[in-house]
Structure 1
Amino acid sequence: MKNDRKREVYSWSKSILFAVMIVFICQQFLFTPITVKGKSMEPTYENDDRIVVTKVGKPERFDMIVFYAPDADEKYIKRVIGLPGDRIEMNDDVLYINGKNYSEPYLKTKKAGIPPGEKLTENFTLKGLHGIDKVPAGHLFVMGDNRRNSWDGRRFGFIPEQSLVGKVEFRIYPLNEMGVPK
C-alpha cells in the first residue's frame, strides 16, 4: 500500500515537471502572453488587454508586434508600417509606402472621432523625421493605431529587428473580444 502511494506521487511529480518544462520551452521559444499597457493601440487593443505573441517568423507590413522599447525599460505594442528599404510618407492622412498609397482600415474608428478638417496623423516623411529617406536594413518603422496619442517610430525612430519579442497572434482577454487581431 505504501509503495503504491510512492509510485503514484512519483508518477504525478514526473507529469507535473514535464508539463512545467513544456510550458517553459514554449514560452521561451514559441509564444508568450503579454498584457497591453497604454492607449497607443486603441481601439484595436485597450489598456490591460491580454494577448498571445508568437516568436516564430518575420513580421510583415501592418502586423502588430511587441518589442523592447528603445527609450524605456518596457515592451511596446505597435503596428509595422515600414520594412527595411521602404520609403514612408504621410500626407493629408494618407499613408504612402514607396510612393504607393495604402488604406488603413484599422484607423476608421479614430478618424470618425476627429473634427472635420483635422488630421488623425500629421504629415511627415522619414527624411523630415529622422534625416534618412528609407527604413535601414535590419530595422522596422512602427506606429500606434491611436495616432494622436502614440509614442512610436515618429518620435523614437526605427526598431532593430533584434528587439522584437514577437508578432501578435491572438487576444485572450477580455473574453468577449477573444480572437485573432484585425
Structure 2
Amino acid sequence: MSDNKSFTKSIIYDWILPILAAIVIAYLINTFLLFKVYIPSESMKPTLNEGDQLFVTKVYDKNKIKHGDVLVFYSHELQDLLIKRVIGLPGDKVEVKDGNVYVNGDKLDETYVKHPSKKPGSFVVPEGKFLFMGDNRANSNDSRFWKDPYIDGKDIRGKAQVRVYPFNKMGWIK
C-alpha cells in the first residue's frame, strides 16, 4: 500500500506538476510577452514572404511605435489580423504620389519597397490612430484601399521581431 502511495506521489511530483507548470508558463508568455504569426500573403514581400513564421512581441506603450516598425494589428474592417509597416503616426500628414511616400513633407527612403504602386493618396492621421502600408505596394491591400484607412492604437497587437521559419532565413526583422 505504501509503495502505491509513493508511486502516485512520484507521478504527481515528477510528471503532472511540471507539465501543468509548463502549460501555465506557456500561456502567460503567449498572453503577455510574445506570440507566433504566420504570413498568409505576399503584401510584405521582400521583407516577409508568404509562409514565413515570426515571433511578435506585445506592444504596450503605443508612444514607442516608430515610423517603419512592422506591426501586427487587428482590422475591424477586414475582420482579420494583419501585418504591415507603420507609415503614419498620430498627427502625421502622409502623401503618396508617383510611387513615393512623403511624411510631413519629407520623402521616405524606403529601400524595403521593391514593387512600388502608382496609387496616390493623401492622409492626415488622427490622434490615437496609425497608418499602415505593405512593402509590396503593387500587391498590398493596405490603408490606401480601406474605407477607414486608420488603425486605432488599441488594435495594435505586437511588433514583428524575428523570423523563425523558414530556417534558412531565420533572423531579426528590419
Answer whether TM exceeds 0.5 for this pair. Answer: yes
Q: Distance in 2 between matches of 1:93 and 1:73?
A: 28
Matching residue of 1:137: 127
- Would you tell me which structure has more strand in proportion to its own residues? 2
Matching residue of 1:170: 162
Of 144, 153, 156, the residue aligned with 1:154 is: 144
How large is the Cα RMSD of the aligned pairs? 1.5
What amino acid is aligned across from residue 145 of structure 1 in structure 2? D
Of 117, 121, 124, the residue aligned with 2:117 is: 121
Matching residue of 2:16: 13
CA-to-aligned-CA distance 1:66-91 (integer Å, 9 cap, x gap) = 11123223211100000000011123
Q: How many equivalent residue pairs?
A: 166
Residues 61 and 96 (structure 1 numbering): CA distance in 2 closer, same or farther, change over 3 Å? same
Matched residue SS, 1:168: strand
Q: TM-score, normalised by structure 1?
A: 0.85
Q: CA deviation at 1:60?
A: 1.4
Q: Distance in 1 between matches of 2:76 and 2:68?
A: 20
Q: Distance in 2 between matches of 1:5 and 1:138?
A: 58
Q: Distance in 1 between matches of 2:40 and 2:166?
A: 14
Identity fraction in percent: 37
Q: How does 1:46-125 map to 2 (within 5 A)?
A: 46-56=49-59, 57-58=61-62, 59-107=65-113, 110-111=114-115, 120-122=116-118, 124-125=120-121
Q: CA deviation at 1:123?
A: 5.2
- Structure 1 gaps of 5+ residues are 112-119, 127-132
Matched residue SS, 1:153: coil
Tell me if structure 2 keeps the 8 A contact 1:90–1:121.
no
- Structure 2 gaps of 5+ residues are none
Q: Is 1:4 the counterpart of 2:6 in the alignment?
A: yes
Q: Distance in 1 between matches of 2:42 and 2:119?
A: 21
